[in-house]
Amino acid sequence: MTPNIFKTMRGPLDNTAALLGAAAAGFAVGLVANLGRKAAVQSLTMLKGQWDEGLKAEHRLTMKLFDALESTDESDARKRKALLVQLQHALAKHAFEEENVVYPAMRDHGQIVEADKLVHDHGYVKQYLFDLSEMDAADPAWIAKVREFRAEIEAHVEEEEQRLFPRLKAALGDEGNKHVTAVMNKAGFAAA
């Protein structure tokens, strides 16, 4: 009688082992897929080489998302919301890189007031994203808010690209620029 008990108990244990194996395999596939997705998202920035060129590429991507948003009309509310989510993700990664690497480097090289102003600007970026996500995308006021937001982003980008980033790049020197590039790409990969 004892052998039959073990025989009947073995069936559920085999099923449990199979389920645990399938779960582990699914987890591993998901982990690899996520790492691949992160690498793809960060590759745009990494392929540009220097940190400032990577950020400029991200700025251009942001403007293309604004272009796509502005090419919609009130009947494209779903498309507007989908594009807004893409914009939110792109700007979140970008802000993470700047706020955690570039702006601290600016502070370390005497651009304290400027770095703090840029962080302040990022607070308003988050406000615009929140406001747009709360608004009805079919409302005519929605696209007006997008255009206002874009104008703020364009001013922020111009200040960074034309005045502040060149100043930081010069202050960092070759080794400092290599370091900031490596640390920024690591942060971007983490945030992607």
> For 144-177, how does the pLDDT look when each residue is reduced to its tens digit (9 = 90+)?
999 999 999 999 999 999 999 999 999 999 999 9
CB 69 within 8 A of CB 85: no
Q: What is the pLDDT of residue 88?
A: 97
Q: What is the Cα–Cα distance from 145 to 63, expressed in whole angstroms?
A: 15
DSSP for 114-132 reads HHHHHHHHHHHHHHHHHHH
pLDDT tens digit sequence for 25-34: 666 655 554 4
Q: What is the pLDDT of residue 86?
A: 96
CB 139 within 8 A of CB 185: no
Q: What is the pLDDT of residue 34?
A: 44
Q: What is the pLDDT of residue 181?
A: 96
Q: What is the pLDDT of residue 124?
A: 97
Q: What is the pLDDT of residue 189?
A: 87
Long-range contacts of 135-141 (CB under 8 A, 24+ apart): 136/77, 137/76, 137/77, 137/78, 137/80, 137/81, 137/84, 138/74, 138/75, 138/77, 139/74, 140/74
Residues of the chain with pLDDT under 50: 33-35, 37-38, 41
Q: What is the Cα–Cα distance from 35 to 190, expressed in whole angstroms?
A: 10
Can you give the length of the chain in residues?
192
Q: Token pair for residue 79?
A: 């498309």
Q: What is the pLDDT of residue 192?
A: 83
Q: What is the pLDDT of residue 13?
A: 58
